[in-house]
């Protein structure tokens, strides 16, 4: 897929989920490097940097997209000619996609250990990292039950229940407003992440923070599953995470309500660190308070330069 098609597919949610959009962004840069023709490094640099801006602007909340693209561009500024730059971008893009897929699989293995035999799990939206933990627990022979929220308005819960049912997992679809009532039956909540901030807050699909509140009230562990490239170093320096607002047509059809009625459609929310029992990453389960250390380890001291 070329850069413009990737941008369109991300905006229209044909490609969605923080990990998938990051891999798609990295692949688009790698593909551009492989197929593009430039007379000199200056022209290539201009095109690649403009592609970078288009890709990272396609969905504003998930820092995974920015980090995936930045990882792919690592070393690009120092390249002396087109040949060297092409090889670097193709190699970086492949390395990011490989590491990203491996991270999900490691998270699955680590996170599945937090799921006991006979456990009832609740999940929200459709997170490959969270679902990998659930699937791995099932593969290892644990008898589990899953409650999956519908996740209005896009109803990613439908994808989730299909995915889990295909694996033979006992899964029940619930509407978003049933979360608090169903929480009494739940042993552990597992959700994904679009962005993890320096103070350990997690930005994920709208409604995630309601699951966290309900879990807290019922003393149910609330666990986030996310690759370390979902950590946002920018939040350390005061940047806040932009919460994407999508078209109101996702909530109401034309003519259904008077034009005087306003409609608000934020699609992500922030869960404060105090409601999070652990973050399952590919480098282990960490407390929200340890995000800073992981950030330094994964992104290096260069974030201060
Ligand atoms: C998807 C969503 C997912 C995270 C993590 O929202 O909120 O929980 O992106 O997903 P949307 P993953 O459908 O709007 O993209 O673990 O697959 O990266």
pLDDT tens, position by position, 60-83: 999 999 999 999 999 999 999 999
Residue 44 Cα to ligand 1 middle (Å): 32
| Cα–Cα separations (whole angstroms), residue 89 to 29, 48, 122, 129 | 7, 10, 39, 26
Closest Cα to atom 15, ligand 1: which residue?
17
Question: CB within 6 Å of ligand 1 — which residues?
Answer: 16-19, 125, 127-129, 154, 156, 192-194, 204-205, 267
Residue 19 Cα to ligand 1 middle (Å): 7
User: Above pLDDT 70, what percent of the chain?
Assistant: 99
Residues 28 and 47 sit within 8 Å (Cβ to Cβ): no
Residues 6+ apart with CB under 8 A from 128: 17, 19, 20, 104, 192
Residue that has been written with the tokens 């519908």 in this structure: 150
Query: How many whole angstroms separate alpha carbon 195 and alpha carbon 204?
Result: 7
In the residue annotation, 79 being an active-site residue is answered as no
* Tokens (6 digits) for 213: 């509140």
Query: What mean pLDDT do residues 96-104 have?
Result: 98
Residues 64 and 104 sit within 8 Å (Cβ to Cβ): no
* 24, 97, 127: residue to mutate for ligand 1 pocket, most atoms within 8 A of CB: 127
| Cα–Cα separations (whole angstroms), residue 33 to 77, 91, 111, 161, 304 | 14, 10, 36, 38, 29
Catalytic-labelled residue, pool 125, 176, 225, 277: 125
pLDDT tens, position by position, 192-250: 999 999 999 999 999 999 999 999 999 999 999 999 999 999 999 999 999 999 999 99
* Tokens (6 digits) for 263: 């409609």
Residue 76 Cα to ligand 1 middle (Å): 29
Residues 192 and 160 sit within 8 Å (Cβ to Cβ): no
In the residue annotation, 133 being an active-site residue is answered as no
Residue that has been written with the tokens 């659930």 in this structure: 134
Relative to the CA of 204, which ligand 1 atom is closest?
Answer: 7
Q: Is the peptide bond before 153 cis (omega within 30 degrees of 0)?
A: yes
Query: How many whole angstroms separate alpha carbon 2 and alpha carbon 10?
Result: 12
The crossing angle, in degrees rounded to 10, of helices 41-56 and 82-112 is: 30
Query: How many whole angstroms separate alpha carbon 219 and alpha carbon 215?
Result: 6
pLDDT of residue 304: 73
pLDDT tens, position by position, 108-137: 999 999 999 999 999 999 999 999 999 999
Query: How many whole angstroms separate alpha carbon 123 and alpha carbon 205?
Result: 11
Q: Element (H or E) spanning 297, and its range?
A: helix 291-299
Residue 258 Cα to ligand 1 middle (Å): 32
Residue 226 Cα to ligand 1 middle (Å): 10
* 13, 17, 128, 246: residue to mutate for ligand 1 pocket, most atoms within 8 A of CB: 17
Query: How many whole angstroms separate alpha carbon 5 and alpha carbon 31?
Result: 12
Q: What is the DSSP string of 159-194?
A: HHHHHHHHTT-EEEEE-GGGHHHHGGG-SEEEE--S
Residue 299 in this model has a pLDDT that exceeds 90: no
Handedness of CA 210, 212, 217, 218 (dihedral sign): positive
């Amino acid at each position: 897929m070329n850069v413009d098609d990737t941008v369109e597919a991300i905006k229209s949610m044909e490609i969605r989920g923080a990990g998938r959009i990051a891999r798609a962004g990295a692949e688009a840069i790698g593909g551009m490097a492989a197929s593009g023709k430039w007379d000199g490094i200056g022209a290539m640099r201009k095109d690649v940097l403009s592609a970078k801006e288009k890709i990272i602007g396609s969905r504003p909340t998930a820092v995974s997209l920015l980090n995936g693209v930045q990882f792919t561009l690592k070393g690009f500024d120092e390249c002396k000619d087109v040949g060297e730059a092409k090889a670097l971008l193709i190699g970086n893009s492949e390395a990011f996609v490989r590491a990203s897929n491996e991270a999900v699989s490691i998270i699955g293995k680590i996170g599945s250990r937090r799921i006991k035999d006979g456990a009832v799990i609740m999940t929200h939206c459709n997170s490959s990292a969270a679902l990998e933990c659930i699937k791995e627990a099932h593969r290892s022979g644990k008898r589990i039950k899953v409650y999956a929220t519908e996740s209005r308005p896009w109803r990613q819960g439908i994808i989730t229940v299909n995915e889990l049912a295909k694996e033979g997992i006992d899964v029940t679809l619930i509407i978003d407003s049933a979360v608090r009532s169903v929480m009494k039956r739940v042993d552990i909540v597992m959700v994904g992440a679009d962005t993890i901030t320096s103070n350990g807050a997690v930005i994920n699909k709208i409604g995630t923070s309601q699951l966290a509140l309900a879990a807290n009230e019922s003393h149910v562990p609330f666990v986030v599953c996310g690759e370390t490239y979902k950590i946002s170093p920018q939040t350390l320096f005061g940047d806040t995470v932009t919460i994407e607002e999508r078209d109101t047509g996702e909530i109401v059809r034309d003519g259904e309500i008077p034009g005087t009625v306003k409609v608000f459609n934020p699609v992500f929310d922030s869960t404060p660190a105090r409601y999070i029992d652990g973050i399952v990453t590919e480098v282990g389960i960490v407390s929200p308070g340890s995000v800073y250390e992981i950030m330094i380890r994964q992104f290096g001291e260069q974030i201060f330069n």
